[in-house]
Amino acid sequence: MPVVNLEQYKAMLEAASKGHYAYPAVNVSSMETASAALMAFANAKSDGIIQVSVGGGEHASGNAVKNSALGAIAIADYVRFIADQYNVFVALHTDHCKAEKLESFVLPLIEETERRRACGRPNVFNSHMFDGSVLPLKENLKIAKGLLARCAKSEIILEVEAGVVGGEEDGVNNSDVPNSKLYTTPGDMVEVYRELSAVEGATYMVAATFGNVHGVYKPGNVKLNPKILRDGQKELKSVYGEDTKFYLVFHGGSGSEKEDIAETLDYGVVKMNIDTDTQYAFTRPVADHMFKNYDGVLKIESEVGNKKVYDPRSYLRAGEAGMAQRMIEACNDLQSAGKTLLR
């Protein structure tokens, strides 16, 4: 059963934490991109996380429907059916959901899981992200705490964010956020622990920010300071004891320097989100196909074109392969390759 249950998911996170590696968490919006992720994890012998954003779910539901929750359920169900053909563990997650989108995205997904569990069926998603980062921390944590309590009842892990990831991606635009908010303080991290650890039986992940920005930029444009994560974990231990730690999440991972990625693994990052890089990796071979087969994909000057090259399957397969190759690279960068827990 490659799509994990709660205990398997927790084992994944703990193994990564102790082994100083992290799982690529790739955003998908279609069967092709989901299949690319599964193929990559299997080829790299790495467990991994497949996630759907609000925009990704809306896309998957089709132009006539545009329902982010329905699209996310469709992708999750597809992954659950197909993942059984692969020999790695996969967790299903939803990405950035701001407070104003909870009613239309995350809450319907939790409700669907509650309905399925009542019938003895597995969860739709294994974890959800609540992004309350633009809210005052007190308000952010008040909402997160209520969500976490509800998630815990259905064996769902919650991801929260303290500090703001800059840039713009998939409808989340933080381009105008003051620079100071791009860096989570040790005090913020202690406050997150104080509030959320009070929820009995709950498991959560924390996206703490250290200058990370969504999207890809030229070298030198993004100034990361991974030691913020180290200092936050250190402060947590000084207040709550040596056995205390966070499962940390690295947002805005696309385009990051490999040295910065490697450093975060030493400070407790167990999950790194990847979207922009894999979007390009999918589209690049599709563009190559179009350029090379221009006179075949178009009916030019009364010609009929070439069905073999304008059949969407021909170029979508190429995109799937390109994205999978980039995901294997991510598994190697995050040192999860060869470490699947599925035996």
Which is catalytic among the residues 95, 170, 277, 333? 95
**134 secondary structure, DSSP code:** T
The answer to whether 95 is a known catalytic residue is: yes
Q: How far is CA 141 from the centre of its chain?
A: 21
Q: DSSP alpha helices (H): ranges in the chain?
A: 6-19, 31-44, 54-60, 68-83, 106-118, 137-153, 186-196, 227-240, 258-266, 276-292, 294-297, 307-310, 312-333
The rounded distance, in Å, linking the Cα atoms of 232 and 209 is: 11
Tokens representing 326 are 């980039």
Q: How far is CA 51 from CA 38, 55, 79, 205, 275, in A?
A: 12, 12, 10, 15, 10
CB atoms within 10 A of CB 184: 25
The rounded distance, in Å, linking the Cα atoms of 25 and 152 is: 21
Pairing of strands 167-169, 172-174: antiparallel
Q: Which of 50, 156, 80 is nearest to 111 (CA)?
A: 156
Q: What are phi and psi of 25, to 5 degrees?
A: -115, 105
Q: What are phi and psi of 140, to 5 degrees?
A: -55, -50
Q: What are phi and psi of 51, to 5 degrees?
A: -130, 155
The rounded distance, in Å, linking the Cα atoms of 246 and 338 is: 24
Task: Tell me which residues are annotated as active site.
Answer: 95
